[in-house]
Chains A and B, each alone.
Chain A
C-alpha cells in the first residue's frame, strides 16, 4: 500500500480509496504498462493487447466517471478524491493515466455543456460502459499547429492571424457541420478511440482562435486513423493521426459553438486538464522517488548503502521536497478549479494558477526522474529496472499537453495582466473573440 505521511490527514474514506486505487495501479496497471512499453506500436492496439484489458477494468471500477458532477451521473467525489485517483494511477503508469484523462474529455464536456439530447445519446452509454466499448480522445494538436493552440487566446489578434489556417476546418451545411482536415500523430489514444472531442477552426474565420468544439464518432464516414506512432515514452497509451474527409456531424454534436464562449471553454478546459496533468506528474515523480529510495537503501558501494552517501542522501531529500511541494500545490489548485468548473459550474477558475500546477509538477517530475536514474547508475540505463521507462515518460511530459515553455508563456500573460485581480478576467478573450 502507498506508505507516506499525508499532510491532508485523509479521512477513512479517502484512505480506503487511495489504497484501492494504489493496489489496482500496482497489480494491474504497472505490469501491463511495462508489457505495452516493450511491444511494437501495431501490436499495442490489437484486440488482445493488455491495453484493452486494463481499460475495461478501469471502466468497471467507474474511474472514467469521476469528473462528472453528481447530477450528471458522477459518483460525487471531492476534488481531493479525484486528485488521489489520478496520482495513484499515474504512479502505476503515465500512459494509462493519460488514456483515462483523454477518455473523459469529449464525454465530460458534453455532460457539462451539451444538450440533453447528446447527454442521452452519447454520455449515458459511456457512463454505463463496463466493457470498454467507448473510448474518448482529445483532438487539438495539428501538423502545423501545436503550441499555437495554447497561446492563441492570449496573443495579439494580428499575430494569431499570422499563425495560419487550422489544419481541421468545420463548415456549417444546413443542420449539419462538415469536418475536413487532419490532426497530428500525437493525439493520445486516437488509434484506440471511438469518439474524438475535436477542436476545429470555423471555415472562413480569421484564425485558429475562432473555432468550435465538437464530438466526432470515429466510425463516421470519412474518418481515417493513421498508424500508431513509435514514441520515446508514454508508449502505454497509443498515439496517432486522425484524418477527416468531409465528415458530417449533426448540429447537436457541436458542444461549444463558435464565439466568445468557445474562448471561455478552451481556457477553462485547460484549467481542468492542468490539474489532471499536475496530479499525473506528481504520481510519476513519486514513483521515481520511491524507486530511487528503495534502490539506494539496498545498493552497497564503498562498503555502505549508497543512501548513506552524502551526495545521494542530499539528492533523495531534494526529490522528496519536490514531490511534496508539488503534491500540495496541485491539490490546492485542484480544489479551487473543480469547485468552479465541476461543482458550482461557474466556469471561472484561475488559468495562471492551474497552469502553474501543471508546469511546476511537470518540471519537478522530470528533475526527480533524472536524479532517480542517476542514483541507479548504469542499471538505470538498462531495461532491467522500471526507472528507465519512468525517465522516458517524464521527458515526454515536458512536451505533451503543451510544452512547459509555451504553457509558461501563456500563464505569464495572465500573471502580468491580472495578478492583482481576485476574479477570472476575460479581457484577453474580448480582444480576440469579443
Chain B
C-alpha cells in the first residue's frame, strides 16, 4: 500500500518491510550501528507541504515526539517554522486544520522558506545484527553520536526514498554528506545497499 513521505506511516512501513525481509537478515547479520538522517528543509519541502496530505504526514511525524522532548526544539529554526505555520510545539499536531495551513503556505512559500532556514527533520534508525530495532524522529542534539550521519536537502532524500537515485550515487555525487566510520561502511556495503533498496521499494503516495 502506498504511503505518504514523510509520515509516521512511512516510518512504520519501512520498519515492517525491513524486519520481514529474510535476505536483509542474512546480509546484515554482522551489522551493528545506528544512523541519523538529517533532512534539511528546502524549496521542494515547502512545495510539498502545500499538499495537505504531505503536511499531515510531516506534522504527524513531529507529533510522534513526546511533548517533554519537544522542548529541545525551543529556539531552533524548526520551532520558527512551526510558528510561521501558526502552530506551537505544545499543540496536538495531528489534529490541526491541514487544508487551511497548506493554503496559507501556498500563499507565501517564500516567507516560510526564509523562516525555516536551517530547520531539519532528523530521523534516527537503529540496526543490530539483521534486526531493524527502532526508527523515530530525533530532537535537536539527540543521537548526535550515531555511528553514521547522513545529511542532505529534503529533495535529495526524496529521490532516495522514491528510488530515483541510490544512496551510493547520491553520496559519491556529493548530494548527500556521509559522516562516520567509512571503513566500516565500505566493509558492509551489501547491507547498506539492501536496506536502501527495501526503502526505495515502498510505494510513495504523491
Chain A residues with CB under 8 Å of chain B are 112-116, 254-262, 264-265, 344-348, 423-427, 429-430, 434
Contact = CB atoms under 8 A, between A and B. Distances in A.
Interface in B146-199: 159, 164-166, 168-169, 171-175, 178, 182-183, 186-187, 189-190, 192-193
The 10 closest A-B pairs by CB, nearest first: A257-B174, A346-B189, A423-B187, A261-B172, A113-B172, A426-B186, A348-B189, A113-B169, A426-B183, A346-B193
Given A430-B182, A434-B182, A114 B173 contact: yes
Contact of B173 (A115, A344, A348): A115
Contact of B165 (A116, A261, A264, A430): A116
Interface residues of B, number: 20
B166 A264 contact: no
Contacts of B187: 348, 423-425
Contact of A265 (B172, B175, B190): B172
A434 to B, nearest CB: 7
B165 A347 contact: no
B188 to A, nearest CB: 8
Given A254-B173, A254-B174, A347 B189 contact: yes
Contacts of B166: 345
B147 to A, nearest CB: 15
Given A254-B173, A346-B168, A426-B182, 11 more contacts: A115-B169, A115-B173, A115-B175, A260-B178, A265-B172, A345-B168, A346-B192, A347-B168, A424-B187, A425-B183, A430-B182
Contacts of A113: 168-169, 172-173
B156 to A, nearest CB: 10
Nearest to A422: B187
B190 A116 contact: no
B173 A256 contact: yes
30 contacts: A113-B168, A113-B173, A114-B169, A114-B173, A116-B159, A116-B164, A255-B173, A256-B173, A257-B172, A257-B174, A257-B175, A258-B174, A260-B182, A261-B171, A261-B178, A345-B166, A345-B168, A346-B168, A346-B190, A346-B193, A347-B168, A347-B172, A423-B186, A424-B187, A425-B187, A426-B183, A426-B186, A427-B183, A430-B182, A430-B183
A97 B39 CA distance: 45
B172 A256 contact: yes
A113 B182 CA distance: 18
B45 to A, nearest CB: 19
A426 B185 CA distance: 10
B59 to A, nearest CB: 29
A5 to B, nearest CB: 36
Count chain A CB atoms within 10 A of each CB in B159, B166, B171 and give the residue with the most. Answer: B171
Contacts of B183: 425-427, 430
A121 to B, nearest CB: 14
B186 A259 contact: no
B34 to A, nearest CB: 20
B17 to A, nearest CB: 20
A145 B84 CA distance: 55
B171 to A, nearest CB: 6
Contacts of A344: 190, 193
